Amino acid sequence: MLDIKLVRTNPELVKENIKKKFQDEKLVLVDEVLDLDAKFRAAKTKCDELRNKRKVMSKEIGGLMGKGLKDEAEKVKAEVSAIGAELEQLEKDETTYEAQIRERMLVIPNIIDDSVPIGKDDSENVEIERFGEPVVPDFEVPYHVDIMESFDGIDLDSARRTSGNGFYYLKGDIARLHSAILSYARDFMIDRGFTYYVPPFMIRSDVVTGVMSFAEMENMMYKIEGEDLYLIGTSEHSMIGKFIDTITPESELPKTLTSYSPCFRKEVGAHGIEERGVYRIHQFEKQEMIVVCKPEESMQWYDKLWQNSVDFFRSLDIPVRTLECCSGDLADLKVKSCDVEAWSPRQQKYFEVGSCSNLGDAQARRLAIRVKGADGQKYFAHTLNNTVVAPPRMLIAFLENNLKADGSVAIPEPLRMYMGGKDKLSK
């Protein structure tokens, strides 16, 4: 959510940003906010005037009564009563205008960074850098479900019967590999100085609307019937929510957190065989990283966060690339974002395995996450998040890149301690 002062002083900048995101239908919101803000401030000014007038007249009543001028005092009382009625209506108007302003401000997109490429959708995202050499082996790489089934490691049919499409049972060595990757990701981030958390897996609606846009919420979140609770789509939701209505001393920043959680998402699609199996699913697990920091440090942390993901995947012999998200592909709260994509030898292309985002002070404004500076002044923090790893999708990249010609799968050294010392999976 933008600072209302920015909309007042530079509405053209806000409109230009909306155009960069190809959301011209939202341009009218800027003028509506300006109109409502003018009415709100006028009502507030009038309220202040009336409160001051009522205070003066109330003192006057006491003076008149002290002099025995009862009739005059009653006249002033009647005026005070009329002021009270007018004030009550103005206060209602003030509350209404404030709510209408917030409703529109929540929909106006955040100002994107100047470095963000302009484009309509993800087809115009820009490759930044590649890490590791993509390899296409001289043997056929099977579909990821077939690889898992060769180790008796997945059961989709039973999951369809119990839960429907978009669910899965992992078992045996594949299930153990899934857990090993998450355990390694946890320790990887702890070793980089992040504090480990297991957060609540459900959050209230005020937290949901604080961490994401309405469009994202509608497309992603599962609501618990009869409760003001939603299942989280990522642990970022509850981890950022942890700081709601707080004031953190500047000396305690940055907050660097890494969290494990299951994730639940409504959206699921089948767009050909490669997006079936465990690619697009309703339920998965993830290790996340979250940073709450001073505004001037957020871009430095942005670079550190995506580099953490790259380093993690490279430690498991998986080639990756980073992809800058263009303006039209950025969610409304984001200032800047990049995807980390892993190499698929089967498809001979990269696919998304994580996303790093700098949200500026958008979440902080919505959730009242403030910092108290050394000078005593308070300001809004900046928040960032990034995926460390999200299996089972990540298993696709892992299995394909570590598959051998005989059908076995090599286990890189960092995972062996979590796999009982195994250096490979054999059929």
Ordered domains of the chain (ranges, CATH): 4-105 (1.10.287.40), 122-425 (3.30.930.10)
Q: What is the pLDDT of residues 108-153, one digit of tens each?
A: 999 999 999 999 999 999 999 999 999 999 999 999 999 999 999 9
Of the pLDDT bands very low, low, confident and very high (cuts 50, 70, 90), residue 69 is: confident
pTM of the model: 0.90
398, 320 in Cβ contact below 8 A?
no
Of the pLDDT bands very low, low, confident and very high (cuts 50, 70, 90), residue 50 is: confident
| More reliable by pLDDT, 59 or 364 | 364
Q: Would strands 369-372 and 246-249 be described as parallel, antiparallel, or unpaired?
A: parallel
Q: Where are the alpha helices (DSSP H) in 106-139?
A: none
| More reliable by pLDDT, 389 or 76 | 389
Whether cis (ω within 30° of 0) applies to the bond prior to 392 is yes
Distance, CA of 167 to CA of 149 (rounded, Å): 16
81 by Cβ neighbours in 10 Å (0-12 / 13-18 / 19+) ranks as: exposed
Q: Is the pLDDT of residue 264 over 80?
A: yes
Q: What percent of the chain has pLDDT over 90?
A: 81
Q: What pLDDT sits at residue 206?
A: 93
Q: What is the pLDDT of residues 173-193, one digit of tens each?
A: 999 999 999 999 999 999 999
- Helix (H) or strand (E) holding 180, with range, is helix 172-191
Token pair, residue 302, equals: 């942005």
Q: Is the pLDDT of residue 331 over 80?
A: yes
389, 353 in Cβ contact below 8 A?
yes
Q: What pLDDT sits at residue 218?
A: 77
Q: Is the pLDDT of residue 62 over 90?
A: no
Q: Is the pLDDT of residue 273 over 70?
A: no
Q: Is the pLDDT of residue 272 over 70?
A: no
Q: What is the arithmetic mean of pLDDT over 320-330?
A: 97
Q: What is the arithmetic mean of pLDDT over 19-27?
A: 97
Nearest CA among 332, 248, 228 for reference residue 240: 248
**In 232-282, beta strands by DSSP E:** 246-249, 255-264
Q: What is the DSSP letter of 221?
A: P
Residues 6+ apart with CB under 8 A from 357: 331, 334, 336, 337, 384, 385, 386
Distance, CA of 265 to CA of 246 (rounded, Å): 28
Q: Would strands 255-264 and 195-197 be described as parallel, antiparallel, or unpaired?
A: parallel
Cβ of 375: how many Cβ atoms within 10 Å? Answer: 6
The alpha carbon of residue 249 and the mean position of all alpha carbons in its chain are separated, in whole angstroms, by: 23
Of the pLDDT bands very low, low, confident and very high (cuts 50, 70, 90), residue 325 is: very high
Nearest CA among 267, 281, 257, 282 for reference residue 199: 257
Q: Is the pLDDT of residue 270 over 60?
A: no
Q: What is the arithmetic mean of pLDDT over 340-352?
A: 96
Q: Is the dihedral of CA 269, 319, 234, 370 positive or negative?
A: negative
Cβ of 153: how many Cβ atoms within 10 Å? Answer: 22
Of the pLDDT bands very low, low, confident and very high (cuts 50, 70, 90), residue 52 is: confident
Q: What is the arithmetic mean of pLDDT over 285-293?
A: 97
| More reliable by pLDDT, 12 or 276 | 12
Distance, CA of 372 to CA of 52 (rounded, Å): 32
Q: What is the arithmetic mean of pLDDT over 388-397?
A: 93
End-to-end Cα spacing for the chain = 53
DSSP β-bridge partners for residue 203:
230
Q: What pLDDT sits at residue 424?
A: 96
Q: What pLDDT sits at residue 267?
A: 66
Length of the chain equals 427
Of the pLDDT bands very low, low, confident and very high (cuts 50, 70, 90), residue 276 is: low
Which string of b and e fits 319-354 if b means at least 16 CB within 10 Å?
bbbbbbbbbbbbbbbbbbbbbbbbbbbbeeebbebb
160, 381 in Cβ contact below 8 A?
no
Q: What is the arithmetic mean of pLDDT over 92-108?
A: 94
Q: Is the pLDDT of residue 271 over 60?
A: no
Q: What is the largest CA-CA distance in the chain?
A: 108
Q: What pLDDT sits at residue 14?
A: 98
Q: What is the arithmetic mean of pLDDT over 259-270?
A: 80
Report the SS3 class of residue 348.
Answer: coil
Place of tokens 């479900």: 145
